[in-house]
Structure formats: structure tokens, C-alpha cells
Amino acid sequence: MPKHAVDKELKKLARLDEASSGLTRAIAPPGLAIVFLAAVAVFAATFVASGPLGLYVVVAAFIAGYMALYVGANDVANNMGPAVGGRTLTLMQALIIAAIFEAAGALIAGGDVVGTISKDIVRPAPTMETTRFIIVMMAGFLAAAMWIHLATYLGAPVSTTHSVVGGVLGSAVAASGLDVVNWPTMGAIAASWIISPVMGGVIAAALLWALKRTVLLREDDRVRAGRRYVPAMVGLMAGVFTSYLMLKGLSHVWAPPTWLVLAAGLLAFLAGWIVARPWIRQQSVGMPDERKAVANLFALPLIISTAFLSFAHGANDVANAVGPLAAIVSAAGSGMAAPQDVPLPLWVLMIGAVGISTGLALFGPRVIRTVGQSITRMNASRAFCVALSAAVTVLVASALGLPVSSTHVAVGGVFGVGFLRERLMNKGIPNPAVQPRTRFLKVATLNETPEQAVARMQKRQKRYLVRRRYALAIGAAWVVTVPASALLAATLYGVLSLATVGSL
């Protein structure tokens, strides 16, 4: 066979191999997800008593597993996106860290918010049949899972909290009317939706502004300033994390007084500061006094804060996956719709924890890239500010038992640092629309006409560091999430009611 014919055949084989590899990569995640959901159903069946309500619980566990997959797939972007976008962690490293700490947060400190999701959003009448209540919850979080699935496919970081609240609300209203809604709780949740992104953005921008003023924007001695202030930020993380563990993570076995929590937080701050000082000093030996080099001192603190945020996310957002399931398990066991006390069996939390970790590994990278790379450019110091800001906000909300949207908090932080950088970069640049034309004649180079000088200044004036189209797209997704999931849940409730009409 001639040589050119052999080369042609080899190229065909290479293209065939590449196509088959691409097909395998496309099929593998959905296939593994199906295996996981089947395992969830079998796992749940081992804990559920036989009978018609037991079957409902197994189906609900299957839906909860589906929901957990996409809570992980979508919300992981909020935790890992800045670190990946700042090139501090590879995608694989980020997924491993997130899987460990998401599961730990869900299992250790996921209780209070589950209670809010499962029984406080709606309060059905005492006369509601248990089966009807179960169908309300199933329709609600199945609708939420479907909506988040679609958003993840499109790469949109929507709020999983909004989705599940809208789903439960829509199915409950379809079943019993508007009177079933617990409006005070909904008001508190709605307020947190507004406060969270603002708080996340303001705190992240304030942290970045402080770092720029004290370290990054100094004309000289940036390395020396980094040795002084970076350990203090590490200590701040240690103090907040310790206080949170005492307030939330150990609350099932120990309720420390407030003074002890504050004292422990202060001691942790000092310990973190003392430990970080020699490490930062060692890392900065021989470092050039350049902004980019000094910003890399935040790499390890960013990894720590990312793990911290993943723990917070697992504690807060496990409710989105298993809150309705916890209510269904309780109702099936007690025979009462919306029981006052909703126990949280370990096996229910395990479905949420494992599902979140599995979902972020299988389907998370697309949304990670949106948050970490598409909105604004990140580096280690900016990503650190976003992660620390989001962690503080989410942990405070979780300690208060509010199902606050970690999506809004983290994405708000990303926009906060982006707009701050944009403001600082454009500060002091004259606006050609209001400045005298003669001002631009003075800045024209020898090779520029006055018109070219004006055009150059206009281009500089319009320099944006935040991509507005992503802000509009994300904002639109946030606005439509609640009504979309509510309408879908109401439709699913009607379908499920017809399918189970004999048991209602």
C-alpha cells in the first residue's frame, strides 16, 4: 500500500478514536449519575418500612438524590470558581477539596437550615392528608431539580435556594391556596435574598480595597507590607471558622456561652496569625517587589478560605437537597402532614452530602468557568477576598437558620471586586464629554492628531473590567427562578395528583 494511503487511513483512525473518546466523555457523567440515583433508591429502601407510604419515601429519596446532584453541580461554582479563575487551584484540585468539605459541612452542621426548608416555608392545614402533603413536597423539589438541571446545562449560576423555595411554594399553593404560605418566613427569606448579594459584594470590595491600600498599591515595600498584613487575614479566617464550629458544628453535643465563643475566636485569630507569619516570611524571601508577585502570597490563604467556604456551603445548602425529603420521612413515619418536629436521620443527610459531592464532580465545571472566568478577571488576592466574604456571609446566615442563597453571596462578591477594580482604574480619568477639548491637546503625542487623542481618551474612559452582559443574564436568571420553579411545581403537583388519585 502506498505511503500516502497508509497516512490517510491512520488519520481516519485518529479521527474515529477522537470522536469515540468525545462520545465517551459526554455519556459517562449521565451514566454515573443514573448509577448513583439507583444506589440512592436501594439505600433508602433499607431504612424505610414497607407499605404505600414507604414507596413514596423511596421515590422521594430518588428525587432528593437528583436534586443533590445539581445543587452540587451549580452551587460549586460559587465556592470554587474564584480559586480556579485565579489559577490558584486546578479544576481537579478544586473538585477534590470541595467534595471533602462539602460533605463534612452537610454531615456536621446541616441541621438548622433543613428545618427551615422542610416545615417553615408553608404550613398546611392540620386536616391535609399525609399523602397529599408528601405529593406537595415531591412536586416542589422535583421542579426545583429540573430547573437547576436546565440552568446548569446552560452554564447559569442560579440560586438553588430560590429554586427549592419557589418549588415548594408553587406546589403548596396549587394544593391549598395562598393561605398555606407562611408569609413572615417568606418575608425573612426574601429580605435575605436582597441583603446577601449586597453584603457579599460590599465585604469583598472592602477587603480588596484594604489590601490594595495597605499592600498592593504601595509604591515600594510591597513585600514588607505583605509580611505584615497577610498573616492577619489568615488569622481572621481562623477566628471566624473556630467561632462557627462552636456555634453550629458542635451544637448537638455542646452549647457554649457567648463569651467562650468570642474568646475561642480571638485565640484562633492569634494562633492563625502567629503560624502564618513565618510561612509568609519564608515564601517572600527573594520575591520581587511587584504587585503580581506579592498577590501570590494569598494562594495558600485562598485554598484555606475555599475549604472554609465549602464547609459553609455544605452546612447551608444541604437543606435544598434533603429538606423536603426530611419532611416526607417524618410525615410518613408519624402519619401527620407537616409535623412540628422534623427529625434528621443520618441516612437523609448522607444522601445530600454524597449527592452534592458527586454532582459537583460530574457536572460542576461548566458553571465554575462562568463564575471564575467570565464575569471578571481573577487572581489569588481577588479570589481570596471573594471567598472570605462569601464564607462570612453564608456562615452567619446558616447560624441564624436562614436558607440564604450562597449563589447570590458569592456572585455578589465577584461583582464587588470587579466593580471596585473598575472604579479605581477609571478614577481620575477625565470624561471627554465634559472636559474642555484643549485638555486633550496637551496629552496628544507627536504622532497624534487632536481627534486621535480624544478617541484614545474616550477608549480609556470606557474601559470596563466587569462584563455587563453576564450581569444582565445572571440577574434575569435570578428573577425568573422563583416563578419558573413555582409554575413547574404546580404543574407537577397536578400530574402527580392525577397519578395517585386513588390514594388521596
The pLDDT value given to residue 323: 78
Task: State the Cα–Cα distance between residues 243 and 266, nearest whole angstrom.
Answer: 9
Q: Which residue has the higher pLDDT, 399 or 200?
A: 200
Mean pLDDT of 332-361: 77
Residues of the chain above pLDDT 90, percent: 9
The pLDDT value given to residue 491: 93
Structure confidence at residue 496 as a pLDDT band (50, 70, 90): confident
Is residue 440 over pLDDT 70?
Answer: no
Is residue 122 over pLDDT 50?
Answer: yes
The pLDDT value given to residue 51: 65
Q: How many residues does the chain have?
A: 504
Tell me if 74 sits within 8 A of 160, measured CB to CB.
yes
Where in the chain are the domains? 29-220+289-427+464-503
Mean pLDDT of 329-356: 76
Is residue 310 over pLDDT 90?
Answer: no
The pLDDT value given to residue 273: 92
Q: What is the 3-state secondary structure (H, E, C) of 430-476?
A: CCCCCCCHHHHHHHCCCCCCHHHHHHHHHHHHCCCCCCHHHHHHHHH
The cell for 400 is 441564624
Q: Which residue has the higher pLDDT, 114 or 305?
A: 305
Structure confidence at residue 56 as a pLDDT band (50, 70, 90): confident
The pLDDT value given to residue 221: 83
Is residue 19 over pLDDT 50?
Answer: no
Lowest average pLDDT, out of 59-68, 414-423, 439-448, goes to: 439-448
The pLDDT value given to residue 452: 66
Q: Count CB-CB contacts under 10 A for residue 447.
A: 6
Within 8 A by CB and 6+ apart from 412, the residues are: 196, 197, 198, 199, 200, 201, 204
Average pLDDT, whole number, for the chain? Answer: 77
Q: Which residue has the higher pLDDT, 119 or 291?
A: 291
> In this structure, which long-range contacts are made by residues 418-424, counting pairs with CB atoms below 8 Å and at least 24 apart in sequence?
418/375, 418/376, 418/465, 418/466, 419/201, 419/205, 419/465, 419/466, 420/205, 420/208, 420/209, 421/208, 421/376, 421/382, 421/465, 422/463, 422/464, 422/465, 422/466, 424/212
Structure confidence at residue 488 as a pLDDT band (50, 70, 90): very high
Alpha-helical (H) ranges within 284-298 are 291-295
The pLDDT value given to residue 120: 61
The pLDDT value given to residue 436: 45
Structure confidence at residue 344 as a pLDDT band (50, 70, 90): confident
The pLDDT value given to residue 485: 92
The pLDDT value given to residue 275: 92
Lowest average pLDDT, out of 152-156, 350-354, 384-388, 389-393, goes to: 389-393
Task: State the Cα–Cα distance between residues 304 and 282, nearest whole angstrom.
Answer: 18
Q: Which residue has the higher pLDDT, 115 or 46?
A: 46
The pLDDT value given to residue 32: 87
Alpha-helical (H) ranges within 155-257 are 160-176, 183-211, 222-244
The pLDDT value given to residue 25: 56
Q: Which residue has the higher pLDDT, 273 or 191?
A: 273
The pLDDT value given to residue 387: 81
The pLDDT value given to residue 433: 42
The pLDDT value given to residue 411: 86
Q: Count CB-CB contacts under 10 A for residue 455.
A: 14
Is residue 231 over pLDDT 70?
Answer: yes
Mean pLDDT of 388-395: 74
Is residue 10 over pLDDT 50?
Answer: no
Lowest average pLDDT, out of 25-39, 80-94, 395-409, goes to: 395-409
Is residue 486 over pLDDT 80?
Answer: yes
Task: State the Cα–Cα distance between residues 128 and 180, nearest whole angstrom.
Answer: 11
The pLDDT value given to residue 26: 62
Structure confidence at residue 8 as a pLDDT band (50, 70, 90): low
**Global confidence as pTM:** 0.77
Lowest average pLDDT, out of 135-149, 192-206, 260-274, goes to: 192-206
